[in-house]
């Protein structure tokens, strides 16, 4: 069994934030109760504030990504009702994520899979994105474990703010450990958001190609996103995630100079609420395959039943093709 990654610095930070926010609600609630307010009213008000803060965060992502959206094909357009439903799902994903999935990282998503489950094919490695941890992919892991894929390993990206290269180095070490642990020759890589970019960098520059049999990137900023702009002081990795930056363009030309030697699939949404322009999540037709999911927001991708069905179908089709 691999050594458990435990709490990352990201997870510890969000756990502290969880207790600080909870303590603030208790203090504020106590003060209002002392002035004659009922506990029920106070609790409902605190829940409303908690939810409203997450809604504001979602809208802070949605507005700039909508303004910088890529052109949509007619078949990718969705109506008003579907748009509102998507925003509500994105809001719910934010409520689950901040702080619960992040704060309870090691308990929700251990590094190792549970023992004794059946598994089809190569072991799977889950790779979350920037400023997230493996707790974010809790629903993916649970879904795969319940659907015939019992060897699912998960790694949290570290260091958080250094560079995409450092994250790819970390992934390379983790994959080697998984291969030794399982005795397998290759792994399947599933990444969300920047996790998909880390996977691609690992494949092309860190010796990952002969160690992977399939790679899937979901909602990945392969050529950056507008949301990274103006935040470069947070660390080198932010500069690498700005729209069409020189690093991303150089790597894009290098990676897509020829077809990917292994199946590489990009699952993307024309309505992505964090990656914009949204079509920069697509890969060239000669390089890999694109699966388009209209009406799916970025954060909801980690708990979207539609996305998880696509992941399972992709895995099933891959293994069926190998068997034939």
What's the pLDDT tens digit per position in 33-71?
A: 888 888 899 899 999 999 999 999 999 999 999 999 999
The pLDDT tens digits of the residues spanning 145-161 come to 999 999 999 999 888 88
What percent of the chain has pLDDT above 70? 100
pLDDT of 244 reads: 85
Prediction pTM value: 0.96
Which pair of structure tokens corresponds to residue 210? 């002969």
Q: Which of 183, 151, 144, 153 is nearest to 171 (CA)?
A: 153
Cα–Cα distance, 204 to 202 (Å, whole number): 6
Cα–Cα distance, 34 to 190 (Å, whole number): 51
Q: What is the mean pLDDT of residues 174-199?
A: 97
The pLDDT tens digits of the residues spanning 225-258 come to 999 998 888 889 999 999 989 999 999 999 999 9
Which residue, chain included where needed, has tokens 């069905």?
A: 309
Please write down the long-range contacts of 304-308, taking CB distance under 8 Å and 24 or more positions apart: 304/89, 307/218, 307/267, 308/139, 308/140, 308/143, 308/144
- Per DSSP bridges, beta strands 124-127 and 187-192 are parallel
pLDDT of 1 reads: 85
pLDDT of 82 reads: 95
pLDDT of 193 reads: 97
pLDDT at 190 over 80: yes
Q: What is the mean pLDDT of residues 181-194?
A: 97
pLDDT of 20 reads: 96
Cα–Cα distance, 266 to 274 (Å, whole number): 16
DSSP 252-274: HHHHTTS--SS-EEEEE-TT-SS
Q: What is the mean pLDDT of residues 286-303?
A: 97
């Amino acid at each position: 069994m691999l050594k458990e990654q435990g709490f990352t610095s990201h997870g510890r930070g969000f756990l502290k934030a969880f207790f600080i926010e909870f303590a603030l609600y208790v203090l504020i609630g106590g003060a209002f109760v002392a002035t004659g307010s009922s506990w029920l009213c106070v609790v409902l008000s605190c829940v409303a504030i908690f939810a409203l803060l997450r809604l504001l965060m979602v809208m802070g992502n949605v507005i700039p990504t909508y303004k910088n959206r890529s052109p949509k094909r007619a078949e990718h357009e969705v109506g008003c009702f579907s748009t509102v439903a998507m925003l509500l799902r994105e809001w719910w994903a934010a409520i689950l994520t901040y702080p619960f999935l992040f704060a309870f990282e090691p308990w929700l998503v251990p590094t190792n899979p549970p023992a004794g489950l059946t598994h089809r094919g190569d072991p799977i490695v889950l790779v979350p994105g920037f400023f997230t941890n493996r707790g974010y992919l809790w629903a993916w892991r649970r879904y795969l474990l319940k659907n015939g894929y019992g060897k699912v390993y998960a790694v949290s990206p570290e260091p958080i703010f250094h560079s995409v290269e450092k994250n790819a180095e970390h992934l390379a070490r983790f994959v080697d450990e998984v291969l030794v642990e399982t005795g397998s020759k290759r792994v399947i890589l599933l990444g969300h958001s920047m996790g998909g970019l880390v996977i691609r960098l690992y494949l092309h520059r860190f010796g990952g190609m002969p160690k992977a049999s399939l790679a899937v990137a979901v909602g990945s900023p392969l050529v950056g996103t507008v949301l990274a702009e103006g935040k470069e002081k947070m660390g080198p990795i932010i500069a690498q995630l700005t729209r069409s930056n020189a690093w991303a363009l150089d790597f894009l030309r290098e990676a897509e100079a020829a077809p990917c030697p292994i199946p590489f699939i990009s699952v993307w949404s024309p309505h992505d609420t964090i990656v914009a322009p949204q079509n920069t999540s697509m890969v060239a037709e000669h390089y890999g395959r694109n699966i388009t999911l209209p009406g799916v927001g970025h954060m909801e991708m980690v708990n979207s039943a539609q996305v998880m069905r696509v992941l399972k179908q992709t895995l099933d089709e891959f293994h069926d093709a190998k068997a034939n």
